[in-house]
Every structure is written in C-alpha cells, then in structure tokens.
Amino acid sequence: KNEVEQSPQNLTAQEGEFITINCSYSVGISALHWLQQHPGGGIVSLFMLSSGKKKHGRLIATINIQEKHSSLHITASHPRDSAVYICAVLQGAQKLVFGQGTRLTINP
Amino acid sequence: ETGVTQTPRHLVMGMTNKKSLKCEQHLGHNAMYWYKQSAKKPLELMFVYNFKEQTENNSVPSRFSPECPNSSHLFLHLHTLQPEDSALYLCASSQEGVPAQFFGPGTRLTVL
C-alpha cells in the first residue's frame, strides 16, 4: 500500500461540473502539495498547505490533519483543466512522497 | 531563461551508451532534486543536493551518477542503463527553509 493514496485514479466529467479529487496519507507530514501535470510532463505547483483551506480562482484545496486527508476541488470545470493532478506530502524539510495521480478529462 | 530548465527534452539511448541529463535553475535556490516518473508509478525521489552537497540518495543504482558543480546546475550521468530505466526524469529546486519546490519540464528517456 502506498503511503499516499489518491482517488479516483481516472475521472471524466462534462464542462461545468464540480470536481473533487481525494488524497489520503499514512505518514507524518510537514505540508501537503497539490501539483498539476500536463501532457509533455511539466509539473506546476497549485497549492501547498499544512492546515485548513486555500482557494485560488476556481481551485480549492482543503486538508484535515487529524484525518490525514486532503481534497482538491475544481468549480465550473473547463476542458483546459484536463491534466493529471498529483498529491504529494512533504516529510521533513525536503522529502516529497507522491500519490499515483488522478487523470482528469473534462469534455466540452 | 526563467525557472528550471532541463536538456535534452527527449533522449533515446542504447544500453551501452553514456549520456548526461542537465538541469539549470535560474531562481537563486540552493537545493536541487532529481525525480523519476515511470509509467503507471508515482514520482520517486532519486537524489537531493543542498549547497552542492548530496544529502539524499534514495537507494538509486550506481548506473545513475549525479553531479552538482554549483547551486544552479545539476547533472545526471547515465551509463549501462536498462530498458526499465526508461522514464521521465524531472529536476526540481527549492530554497532552504521554504518547502515549495519548482519543477523543470523533464527529460523523457527511452533506453533501447
């Protein structure tokens, strides 16, 4: 069992739908990252959080430290949101442990 | 150039070849990382360098040899690789004390 588990692994939705991607982890962490990876490989950091909730545009990330769970939400989804979304937990100062990613496809 | 750059973006090599991957960061960071992303597997940390010194080797086989000549440049020297080493190799950088890491675009490596 991976230390970081994401669900679902694949998600297909229609444009405009509300999207939720979940991440559970089983290790102690100092922070949690949500990353976006587009075809071709480049990775962009969306959020880094250690408690509570953060919002950026149509993206919202929450974390529950006691439950060891985080969610990434996308409101009013758009085809350009299609990508792989990766949850990664930070152990200590520098070591990132990654989930397997969620492949999101938004159809017009 | 801005951010983190990697060259080449694509590389095909035979098992007996020797090649090198290059990473350069233009962010003034002092930590650099190599990650491997194989098909159907999560990203894995390979090496960490802080102030040019290797501080983490995540049980990586010796056919992968990193080099960090200064805080802005990181190399991954490859020799006698196996087909299962085919993967996307990503470089990242960060600033000491700041947990955010910035990723390069990756080098997609195919070993024949």
Give the tens place of pLDDT for each residue, A44-78. 999 999 999 999 999 999 999 999 999 999 999 99
Res. B82 pLDDT band, cuts 50 70 90: very high
B18-25 β-sheet, strand order: B4-7, B18-25, B73-79, B64-70
b/e B26-42 (16+ beta carbons within 10 angstroms → b): eeebbbbbbbbbeeeeb
Mean pLDDT across chain A:
95
Cross-chain CB nearest to B31 (options A30, A42, A94): A94
**A48 shares contact with chain B (CB less than 8 Å):** yes
**B99 shares contact with chain A (CB less than 8 Å):** yes
How many contacts, defined by CB atoms under 8 Å, are there between A and B? 58
In chain B, positions 20-39, which contact chain A (CB-CB < 8 Å)?
31, 33, 37
pLDDT of B1 over the 70 cut:
no
Q: What pLDDT is attached to residue A41?
A: 78
User: Is the distance from CB of A84 to CB of A100 less than 8 angstroms?
Assistant: no
Cross-chain CB nearest to A98 (options B43, B88, B100): B43
**Amino acid, single-letter form, for residue A27:** V
Measured between beta carbons, the chain B residues lying within 8 angstroms of A99 are 42
Pairs from B66-74 (Cβ < 8 Å, separation ≥ 24): B66/B34, B68/B32, B71/B29, B71/B30, B71/B32, B72/B24, B72/B25, B72/B26, B73/B22, B73/B23, B73/B24, B74/B22, B74/B23, B74/B24, B74/B25, B74/B32, B74/B34, B74/B49
pLDDT of B2 over the 80 cut:
no
Q: What pLDDT is attached to residue B96?
A: 83
Q: How far A16 CA sits from the closest chain B CA (Å)?
A: 29
